[in-house]
Chain A
Amino acid sequence: MSDILLSLKGLTKAYPGVVANRDVTFDIKKGEVHALLGENGAGKSTLVKSIYGLVRPDSGTMTLLDAPYHPGEPRAARAAGVAMVFQHFSLFDALNVAENIALGMENPPPMRDLAARITKVSDDYGLPLDPSRIVGDLSAGERQRVEIIRCLLQDPKLLIMDEPTSVLTPQEVDILFLTLRKLRDEGTAILYISHKLEEIRSLCEHATILRMGRVVGTCDPRETSARTMAEMMVGSVLHVPSRPAAPVGEVVLELAGLSAPPPRQFGTALKDISLSVRNGEVLGIGGVAGNGQDELLLALSGEMRTASGMVKLRGTPIGHLMPNARRTLGLLTAPEERMGHAAAPDMSLTENAILTGAIREDLTHRGFLRWARARSFAEAVIKTFDVRTPGPGAAARSLSGGNLQKFVIGREIMQRPDVLVVNQPTWGVDASAAAAIRQALLDLAAKGAAVIVVSQDLDELMEISDRFAALNGGRLSAPRRAQGLTVDEIGLMLGGAHDMEVAHVAA
């Protein structure tokens, strides 16, 4: 018997317009913690979904313990000994821990036996958890424990963890790592997905790096620097933009000590964010998801109000203004979530044009809608940004993600903003559409607007930004010239190392 647990050979999976995995081949050994590295959109989640039976690969084979392995659904994967902890928990707030775990089991034992097993497993692995507690009262870390224990009860051979530390405090990360090391010592293999390179260096023995759906390298993270791994993730060198040096325009938008409590549970508080953006400039803001990006957008769009002086447009305090008042003054935004936030899924594109365009495009007259004007505005956006749709009467939900994104970004750009703030402008968009969107943002800046691009895609930010800053735990680093910025420096700005110090010591 070999020591190889799961072997992937030539896995390929294509979606319309994008190849998510191309000829992916690697092995996971028994009892190893194997890291899967890659940027957003590199194909990590498609790959683990294939392993977990949620996605059926177009071609390629998987071998689990020398036997062919082709799970048609997660149930088959679980039966074969593969368990997964998702980034987003699937728990019912109103039920207690044991009930939630029973819901995910095929043949749940009587509740009393289950509670005893939960208590035993949670003691064995140092994950204290009371089976009778209501999930709604648990912290994010404790919820994750519920998910982990749910997996451990199946006695898995392979445990897949998707970004498990993104919702955890450093102390919780330490405890999680102790548990994972104990599991590894008992022979369970762990496939560990994360952006946080220092974490991977302290935990994993082997790493496979994906880029654009392909395996572009493997390494031993313990002996490889974070910088080397980052360069493997993003390509040998970060693509440096060939843009002219930052122009010196007037300061248009200024944030002065912007602080705000999290607008919802598990949100991030914004802490003392200060920046200024000038006419004709593109400011890129990077960071790992959940470090305050959404909250910053809410504070800029006007969905979240702050003290008036915290946000200033051309010197005028606007922190207290509603979205439409800010639009009137020339500050436009495009949030990350297209369906249901930037656009109303069941409404037509014409109606979605009114959604943000009513003021600047003069689509109302004394409160009455000017449908003809709205339709021609929607048509103009569709034409200029090459949105593939039957016409402005189509419901937003009938468009593909990339096309809707083009419409949403185009809708704001066509309104000639003085300041445009976009979050993840090319997320889920195919390469050519992404390039078109980036070009449109650059063109907008060239015409004298100030543009803020919030993104997790470092390539994108380096390509279009004049200056770069990073959000980390709701704080913004001091912006620096993007040109000439090295991977190491970017890594430091993203704060990958400093909040992982505890884990370092443990390793």
Chain B
Amino acid sequence: MIRLEKRPQPSQVWIVATPLLAVIATMIAGGLLFAALGKDPVAAIRTIFWDPLFSENAWFYRPQLLIKAAPLILIAIGLSLGFRAGIWNIGAEGQYIMGAICGAGMGLAFYPMESVLIFPLMILAGLLGGLLWAMIPALLRVRFGTNEILVSLMLVYVAEQILASMALGLLKNPEGMGFPGSRNLSQYPSAANLELIKGTGMHWGVVAAFIAVIFAYVVMSRHILGFNIRLAGQSPRAAAFSGVSPGRLVIICLGVSGALAGLAGMFEVAGPSGRISIDFNVGYGFTAIIVAFLGRLHPVGILLAGLLMALTYVGGGMAQGSLGLPAAAIQLFQGMLLFFLLAVDVLTNYRIRPARRRVA
């Protein structure tokens, strides 16, 4: 049949080509899925990938792209550092929630005072909230050798419970007539994360995401920290020989990814979402894992992957509305993207050869 032959060096062509191939394979398999659901596959694919950008109603949807992409990119950039080093923070969703709670809490503590200092303080609080939440799995791993995958994931559910408790208790809007949820921060000028340029969806979170992309690019390609991260991920023993302290790397990587996820949560709660509510989190922290891998853990790749994934969110929402596709089908579609990416990834390090007949 066929056999896989390891390439002497990873193929530069396939590093770029595999994500594209994965997107195409996802479109085909997704089309088959939609057809099986009794929908027109071409219309569905077009609604998801084309209409949000180029249909006549696109002016309404385009800003949504940046709004959805910003938290995905911000979180995925942070995760990519750890993933490169073999440190698996799966709990970005929890860090995102804690960042939002801390950021919102900081803002609401000053309500109704007006000051230019409030928003920066909220940014700091959001960042610290995510950072400290990520320090729990980091310190447990360094001190006791626990598995950061499990601990960080479990802490997502803890964070969700804290979120619910906040929405029903401490942060509940006193003028909300008993409904759960906090005051709307986007209607509190000093704390609002508003659109910076009208009609683009550009808010401070988008700015932060772009800064994070550039920052990550410089660190990974020019700085010894990025070198150590790559080294630790590829050859842990060589990293130890080189003098990299594994514990320090765990704390740095989980700290940075937690801080960025916390920032993303804070920008979300102060802007697009507006308030702390029980169902505040919508899975950005998990989708960002797909974004990080789809972008090959490379900052520029993550930027593009984040925009693509935002497109499937926006387009998927449109398809739900106009074609009646179930929400689960859209999630399945996003999952397929990661599945196909990991599957075709083998081409980067291996080439496929027809197997030689065994000489009898």
Contact = CB atoms under 8 A, between A and B. Distances in A.
Given A394-B9, A395-B8, A344 B243 contact: no
9 smallest CB-CB distances across A and B, nearest first, come from A323-B243, A324-B243, A398-B8, A344-B235, A395-B9, A344-B238, A341-B237, A355-B242, A340-B235
A369 B243 contact: no
A477 interface: no
Contacts of B8: 395, 397-398
* Max chain B Cβ within 10 angstroms of own Cβ: one of A302, A322, A327, A341: A341
Interface residues on A, range: 20 to 34
Interface string A307-348: 000000000000000111101000001010100111111110
A335 B241 contact: yes
B9 A323 contact: no
B9 A345 contact: no
A343 B359 CA distance: 37
B286 to A, nearest CB: 28
* Max chain B Cβ within 10 angstroms of own Cβ: one of A327, A337, A341, A344: A344
Nearest to B218: A368
Given A323-B240, A347-B234, A358-B224, 12 more contacts: A322-B243, A323-B242, A324-B243, A333-B241, A335-B241, A342-B241, A343-B238, A346-B234, A347-B235, A356-B241, A397-B9, A398-B8
5 contacts: A323-B243, A327-B243, A341-B241, A347-B234, A351-B227
A369 B231 contact: no
B117 to A, nearest CB: 32
Contacts of B242: 323-324, 355-356, 358
* Max chain B Cβ within 10 angstroms of own Cβ: one of A72, A347, A355, A368: A355
A338 to B, nearest CB: 10
A358 B227 CA distance: 11
Given A346-B10, A369-B222, A394-B9, A341 B227 contact: no
A354 interface: yes
Interface residues on B, range: 20 to 34
A335 B240 CA distance: 12
B25 interface: no
Interface string B198-228: 0000000000000000000000001111010
Nearest to A352: B238
B224 A364 contact: yes
A72 B245 contact: no
A435 to B, nearest CB: 26
A395 B223 CA distance: 20
A303 interface: yes
Contact of B237 (A323, A340, A369): A340
Contacts of B245: 322
A131 to B, nearest CB: 31
Nearest to B245: A322
B143 interface: no
Contacts of B358: 72
B183 interface: no
Nearest to A347: B234
Interface of B: 8-10, 222-225, 227, 230-231, 234-235, 237-243, 245, 358-360
A325 B242 CA distance: 11
A390 to B, nearest CB: 10
A301 interface: yes
Given A347-B231, A395-B8, A301 B241 contact: yes
A368 B222 contact: yes
B224 A355 contact: no
B238 A355 contact: yes
A17 interface: no
Contacts of B230: 347
Contacts of A337: 237
A367 interface: yes
* Max chain B Cβ within 10 angstroms of own Cβ: one of A325, A333, A358: A358
A347 B238 CA distance: 11
Contacts of A72: 358-360
A335 B9 CA distance: 24
B223 A369 contact: yes
A369 B224 contact: yes
Contact of A369 (B227, B239, B359): B227
A345 to B, nearest CB: 7
Contacts of A335: 241
A342 B238 contact: yes
Contacts of B235: 340-341, 343-347
Contact of B241 (A323, A346, A354, A364): A323
A191 to B, nearest CB: 26
A341 B234 CA distance: 11
A72 to B, nearest CB: 7
A347 B225 CA distance: 15
Given A342-B238, A343-B238, A398 B223 contact: no
Contacts of A325: 243
Nearest to A355: B242
A72 B224 CA distance: 49
* Max chain A Cβ within 10 angstroms of own Cβ: one of B9, B222, B238, B239: B238
Nearest to B8: A398
A491 B71 CA distance: 68
A451 B282 CA distance: 61
B10 A341 contact: no
Contact of A344 (B10, B223, B231, B359): B231
A37 B239 CA distance: 37
A301 B237 CA distance: 12
Contacts of A397: 8-9
* Max chain A Cβ within 10 angstroms of own Cβ: one of B235, B245, B358: B235
Contact of A367 (B224, B239, B359): B224
A298 B333 CA distance: 49
